[in-house]
Amino acid sequence: MKWLVMLLVLIIVGLQYRLWHGPGSLEEIKLLHQSINAQSAEDKHLLERNQALEAEIRDLKSGLDSVEELARSELGMVKKDESFFLTVEK
């Protein structure tokens, strides 16, 4: 009977060690949940960016207005017989 109690105590101690410090421990599970949450947030951000880029691509394919707007804002292009004025603030 004494050996059985000793064996059960050793088994409980071994299981407790695995629960707190071994592979699949509570701390490791907590870190994995944090990693999953961070990855989900990054995925959401990237999905929003992709949707914005898809909308911009659709606009560029559908008409010349968005192409003209893009050329004016990013390349500084002007139409024929149009004057461009750049104001510099101090």
**58 within some domain:** yes
Q: What are phi and psi of 24, to 5 degrees?
A: 80, 20
**35 within some domain:** yes
**11 within some domain:** no
Tell me the pLDDT of the chain (90 aa) as tens digits. Answer: 889 989 999 998 888 887 788 777 888 899 999 999 999 999 999 999 999 999 988 888 887 888 888 888 888 888 888 887 778 898
* Total of domains in the chain: 1
> The domain containing residue 66 runs over which residues?
25-71
pTM over 0.85: no
**1 within some domain:** no
Phi-psi region of 63 (alpha: psi -120 to 50; beta: other; left: phi over 0): beta
